Chain A
Amino acid sequence: NAGVTQTPKFQVLKTGQSMTLQCAQDMNHNSMYWYRQDPGMGLRLIYYSASEGTTDKGEVPNGYNVSRLNKREFSLRLESAAPSQTSVYFCASSTIATNEKLFFGSGTQLSVL
């Protein structure tokens, strides 16, 4: 019962470094999402993928890129990290069978110094 798995759990970067956050789900879900969570701002959608082979921008996409590698995996890349990208990042997935329910991973805590 893995559900949605995110790696790494913690990461510290220096300004300007790049990294990729990995997300995989084993529930055969069609849709996947990346959210960021910041104090006092709730969860904000960065990018989402309605199905394999498609991606679209969310509310706060600047500074990020995504890849829907296959049905299971959806990665988030920071090409040149900035302190403003210090946040907790959550991946989620859903499918028509579960209708509106989002299944979240346990998050990646990212600090950019």
Chain B
Amino acid sequence: QQQVKQSPQSLIVQKGGIPIINCAYENTAFDYFPWYQQFPGKGPALLIAIRPDVSEKKEGRFTISFNKSAKQFSLHIMDSQPGDSATYFCAARLTGGGNKLTFGTGTQLKVEL
């Protein structure tokens, strides 16, 4: 049972475009929502994260929008570059669950010139 649902599975945008990746969850006991970026042949690396008491967080060209009532959050990449081509995973952590993360299924992003 997938507790964090991620879409789309894959995404192609032109350089300078704004890809948006969406995630939805059901369990209201999740208290932390990170996004991880993974390049081919590498392990995932933390990109940006948000807590449910904040509606938006921005770090450089990456922004998380969080809608607590809808139980949805999304990643926006401003002015996307070919170097942003990677697989992106959203994740969620249960309150009191240690640091165990439940990951979404991933979105393969390609940014074309």
- Residues of A at the B interface (CB closer than 8 Å) are 4, 31, 33, 35, 40-45, 48, 50, 58-59, 90, 92, 94, 100-102, 104-107
CB distance from A10 to the nearest CB of B (A): 11
Task: Provide the residues of chain B in CB contact with A43, threshold 8 Å.
Answer: 44, 89, 101, 103
Picked from A50, A106, A107, the residue with its CB within 8 Å of the CB of B98 is: A50
Specify the main secondary structure of chain A where it touches its partner. Answer: strand
Give the interface residue-count category, chain B: 20 to 34
Contact B105 A42 (CB under 8 A): yes
Q: Residue among B43, B46, B101, B103 with the most chain A CB within 10 A?
A: B43
Mind listing 16 A-B residue pairs with CB under 8 Å? A31-B98, A31-B99, A35-B103, A42-B6, A42-B103, A43-B101, A44-B103, A94-B99, A100-B32, A101-B34, A101-B46, A102-B44, A102-B46, A102-B99, A102-B101, A104-B43
Contact B104 A42 (CB under 8 A): yes
A92: nearest chain-B partner, CB-CB: B43
Picked from B9, B42, B45, B101, the residue with its CB within 8 Å of the CB of A40 is: B9
Cα separation A2 to B68 with both chains bound (whole Å): 38
Q: Mark B26-42, 1 if CB is under 8 A from A, else 0.
A: 00000010101000011
Is B49 on the interface with A (CB-CB < 8 A)? yes
Task: Provide the residues of chain A in CB contact with B34, threshold 8 Å.
Answer: 100-101
Q: Mark B74-99, 1 if CB is under 8 A from A, else 0.
A: 00000000000000010001000011
Cα separation A92 to B36 with both chains bound (whole Å): 13
Task: Provide the residues of chain A in CB contact with B99, threshold 8 Å.
Answer: 31, 94, 100, 102
Task: Provide the residues of chain A in CB contact with B106, threshold 8 Å.
Answer: 40, 42
Cα separation A45 to B103 with both chains bound (whole Å): 9
CB distance from B3 to the nearest CB of A (A): 9
Task: Provide the residues of chain A in CB contact with B49, threshold 8 Å.
Answer: 100
Given A43-B89, A45-B102, A90-B44, 18 new contacts (CB under 8 A): A4-B43, A42-B104, A42-B106, A43-B44, A43-B101, A45-B100, A45-B101, A48-B98, A50-B98, A59-B102, A94-B99, A100-B32, A100-B49, A100-B93, A101-B46, A102-B46, A106-B42, A107-B43
